[in-house]
Structure 1
Amino acid sequence: MEKANETLQADDSTIPLILVNLTVRNFNVSPVSEEPEPCQLIDSGRNRFLIVVFVVIFCVSLIGNSLVILTIVQNRWMRTITNLFLLNMAISDLLLTLICMPPTLTAMLFECFIWGSQMKWMCTLMSFLQPVSVAANANTLVAIALERYFALCRPLHSRQWQTKRNVVRMLIVVWTAACITSIPPTFVVEVIEIRPGQPNCRYNWPSPQAPLIYFIFLSQMLFTIPLIIMTLLYSLVIRSLWLGIKQHSENSSRRIVFTYCYQFSSLMTLPTEEPSSGVRQNERQRRWLFRRWSGTQLRSTHTEKSLVTKKRVIKMLAMIVVEFFVCWMPFYSYYLVVIIHPSLFDSSCHVAFLIVAYLSTCTNPITYCFMNSKFRQAFLAAFGCHVNSKALRRQKCYGTKHSQPYVCKVTPPQGAAGEAQQEDKDDDDVNSNSSSQQDYMTAYEGSRNNSEDMATVQMVLSDNSIAQTTPTEKTTDSTELPVITMEGIASIV
């Protein structure tokens, strides 16, 4: 009997805990008694604290992820490419919340597997679903980084593969890879009665080196490789946005110079009692050029708003990535250290890392709410807020053939609802690939028009020969032009 007890104690020092913490690490093995001791709830301050923390995390995760799923499923205009990936993350977080958190809490409170050895399938299921959920989130974040890279850096190429069907295929690959990486623990997990009547769900690895090899492989697949890929892709995306902002600033400077030159040339043209036909023609040419440059300015304003929106979306996605790694990396790093040095940490450290890991299930909905106005309006509309729901109902959606499943055409409402809807309209249209392609082509067309019109402006200001080279447009001489002064130009600069 003493020899058997020594064997169990040795195994406890080398076998790491199951990922869902269905057993307690440091416990003493008592001799086998005739009467089994059933699992009992331990009343302590630590357990009361765990109950409060787990209930809060469970409720926030359940409500938040359910709202994300409901919002994207019910509102067709929310089904953009990026939001479909966020929907997948909400499903995996909800799966982890419903299936893994309650058994984990009961194992901490009772210090045993209360369902008994007859429910080994539940032990196996929970040991499988937690790494699946974490792997699915990591793979989804990589897929989002790829989608953002092609949408912002290679918009013309992304149109070929960023479709609803291809998104479904990518999600199938995400879940398949997650399941493959999480299969090994299902073969070594067992329900073992360390004490009579008190079973525990734990790993039983065939050798001491097996858990170390597996957890090193898991940490590389879940954290190291995805982190390298996402860092590289988001660096390229940020560089592309910076170049776009720089190009926009140069185009704005050209528009200021043109406006000043036009105003100066108008002041230098002295009115006569009977202006000649050449003077009238030259005035029409200048007004035609000014209207054309005004159109370019409108396109530039749209591009500026699009750049601001893209930066906001990238900030939100970067925050999601940081939250994921901050929550889960300490947990898996702890297990690697425990495998190498089992006596370095106690059970309280394990509980703290586990709580931080479960916080990841409720951080994403909070991030969407604070950093995405469309999600915020949809969440408020789900709770019956009048202004936002009225604004959302005014959106008329129609299907498209290409990458964005639905494009929303907004009817501007009146009053406060109209202001809210107008702000929402300019917010996150960058989530769709078609918006990125339109911005790309608009910027290209604007820069091309800028170079062409600057050459034409020089001809207008030099002489009246432009009447023979530039198309004319019928206008009246009473057309009012905006008054631009030197003080206004100085304030803009």
Structure 2
Amino acid sequence: MDSCQLNAMEPYRDYTQVGWVSAIITFAYVLVATLALLGNLLVIWTVWRNSHMHTVTNYYIMNLAISDLLVAALVMPLKLLEYRAECQWHIFKSDGLCSVVYYLLPVFVFASVLTLVAISIERYYAIVHPLSAMKVSSKSRTRKILAVTWVIPILVASPFVFSRSLPFSIHSELGSISREICNDRFNEIDFALFGDPEHIGDFRKGYFLFLFFVMYLTPSAVIFITCVKIAISLVQPITVENSIYGRKDTRRRHEENKRKVARMVIVIAITFIISWSPHYLVSIISQLQPNSFLREGQIIFTMLITHLCGFVNSCLNPIIYTAMSQKFRRSFKDILGRILYCCTFRSLGPYGMRYGQSQRFTSTFRQTLSETDPNHLALNDHRHRNTVLLTAKTHPSHSSSGTDSDIRELKEEEKSIVKKYIFKNNGHVCKTENIVVRNSSPVNVEPASPLKGILKNGTRNVDYQSNIRCHEQLCTGDDERNIADV
């Protein structure tokens, strides 16, 4: 007799017995997995390739994206197969595969929970206690915290390794289905610990209660408390001490940026809690009930829907970053533009390649300026530009274009911003290395950004004009007149 018929249940209703319901759920899983996979790959690539985005908050966001990417690439396809594949296919016949499937999901979910706790606390100190933020938010400490966010889930989820395959079939007036799903072996742990059938189920109930309080309720409380205190600080008006116009404007802009990041973190945390609450609630209620409601019906449908609600969170995070972060939005556009360039200009032959490379260089260079020089975009506004120029002339020692941290990041950024640029040379493309950017802004401006002065619309100002000089060029016949204007 086939193993799929051994555990045949009495008439048992489940909406997945209806064909069109199963088709809609399958389509939703595929759509969510695809969006989560592409979106989180985009987030990881954006943070990794842009050194100016190597901040503490973005480290946490990248860790969250890695967890979401693993969920989309590994857990979602396996979970869909587990609850949708026919038992006769015997995909999960191996207990080893069941152990992997049953273990991976809680590891990734717990890692995401702890990452959100860490990022909420980091933003709490940055907004509410800024003087203590430097101690809490150092990059070395952040790396240690990120390691902990993975070590703890790996240990806490270890009981899920004890899993096995469970074939069964169910039927009702809606139809018949047979499945081979993964189930825990906690009853065997009870028997090994107590040797008494009366204690069967005690370990499962105690373990799920532990997970509910330690890995869901407590982190949610920490996230809720920190987000409430952050929200209280956000509704307060921004106060900046009296200072020279340029530095006061920079401080205000810096405070506004911190608040934008804090709002984004609050939205991410709330979205995560809402998405995974159905899964945790179903798990704990089914364990506390003397006669679980899942034994009455809808076990496959309930598992598919509660898991789908949690999986949706993995594809929502990149959308939140795009909607609430200008840096992520710019970087996403740049990456998508490069992909479009690869798909279009290369098909146009040599002329298309030359034109595409020139446009790509100009776009990338201007984007880099707008991210490293806070005044870059504002200089397109003639009224603000004249104010800045007047300030630079009347107070040359107080016309800084960024905070001290911006300047420090810029010095590191110079090593990677202009590594390889494409210029025109008599109708040909010339690759150059070791580009030197010489700033000819007012001599007494301190500190001066070496990239300051090139406006986004291509125009130049006499007081903020930068000239690009190329050294060790890889093609001959180039001089200053042949260098493409950026």
Sort the TM-score into its range (normalised by shorter chain): 0.5 to 0.7
2: distance between equivalents of 1:226 and 1:433?
35
Matched, 1:136 2:111: yes
For 2:126, the aligned partner's letter is A
The superposition leaves residues 329-385 of structure 1 with CA deviations (integer Å, 9 ceiling, x where unpaired) of 111101222222423662333332222111011010000011111101111111117
1: distance between equivalents of 2:96 and 2:221?
36
Q: Is the 8 A contact 2:34 2:72 kept in 1?
A: no
Please provide the CA RMSD for this pair: 3.9
In the TM superposition, 1:14-413 aligns within 5 A as: 44-112=19-87, 114-116=89-91, 119-187=94-162, 189-194=163-168, 199-206=180-187, 207-242=200-235, 245=237, 247-248=239-240, 295-339=243-287, 340=289, 341-343=291-293, 346-347=298-299, 348-384=301-337, 390-394=362-366, 408-409=372-373, 412=376
1: distance between equivalents of 2:132 and 2:276?
34
Q: Is the 8 A contact 1:391 1:417 kept in 2?
A: no
Q: Is the 8 A contact 2:82 2:182 kept in 1?
A: no
For 2:365, the aligned partner's letter is R
Q: Is the 8 A contact 2:85 2:179 kept in 1?
A: no
Q: Is the 8 A contact 2:83 2:179 kept in 1?
A: no
2: distance between equivalents of 1:69 and 1:150?
25
Change (3 A) 1:163 1:212: same
2: distance between equivalents of 1:409 and 1:131?
43
Structure-2 residue corresponding to 1:16: none
2: distance between equivalents of 1:115 and 1:47?
19
Change (3 A) 1:413 1:336: closer
2: distance between equivalents of 1:182 and 1:433?
44
2: distance between equivalents of 1:415 and 1:303?
18
Superposed displacement of residue 162, structure 1? 2.6
Superposed displacement of residue 182, structure 1? 0.8
* Counterpart secondary structure, 1:201: strand
Q: Say which is worse superposed, 315-324 or 162-171, in terms of deviation.
A: 162-171
Q: Which has the higher strand share?
A: 2
Structure-2 residue corresponding to 1:483: none
Q: Is the 8 A contact 2:13 2:298 kept in 1?
A: no
Identity %: 24
Q: Is the 8 A contact 2:122 2:136 kept in 1?
A: no
Between structure 1 and structure 2, the one with the greater Rg is: 1
Change (3 A) 1:192 1:156: same
Q: Is the 8 A contact 2:84 2:179 kept in 1?
A: no
2: distance between equivalents of 1:117 and 1:223?
29
The two structures have a TM-score, normalised by structure 1, of 0.60
* Counterpart secondary structure, 1:335: helix
Superposed displacement of residue 179, structure 1? 1.2
* Structure 1, unpaired ranges of 5+: 14-24, 29-40, 252-292, 398-406, 419-431, 436-493
The superposition leaves residues 99-118 of structure 1 with CA deviations (integer Å, 9 ceiling, x where unpaired) of 11112212222243845566
The superposition leaves residues 130-182 of structure 1 with CA deviations (integer Å, 9 ceiling, x where unpaired) of 01111011100111012112223333333235332221111111101111221
Structure-2 residue corresponding to 1:479: none
Q: Is the 8 A contact 1:190 1:201 kept in 2?
A: yes
Q: Is the 8 A contact 1:136 1:178 kept in 2?
A: yes
Q: Is the 8 A contact 1:151 1:433 kept in 2?
A: no
Q: Is the 8 A contact 2:83 2:181 kept in 1?
A: no
2: distance between equivalents of 1:362 and 1:391?
28
Change (3 A) 1:111 1:157: same
Q: Is the 8 A contact 1:162 1:433 kept in 2?
A: no
1: distance between equivalents of 2:116 and 2:37?
21
2: distance between equivalents of 1:115 and 1:389?
53
Q: Is the 8 A contact 1:394 1:413 kept in 2?
A: no
Q: Is the 8 A contact 1:370 1:376 kept in 2?
A: yes
1: distance between equivalents of 2:223 and 2:116?
8
Structure-2 residue corresponding to 1:456: none
Q: Is the 8 A contact 1:381 1:389 kept in 2?
A: no
2: distance between equivalents of 1:413 and 1:302?
14
Superposed displacement of residue 311, structure 1? 2.6
Change (3 A) 1:142 1:117: closer
Change (3 A) 1:233 1:409: same
2: distance between equivalents of 1:156 and 1:390?
39
For 1:346, the aligned partner's letter is Q
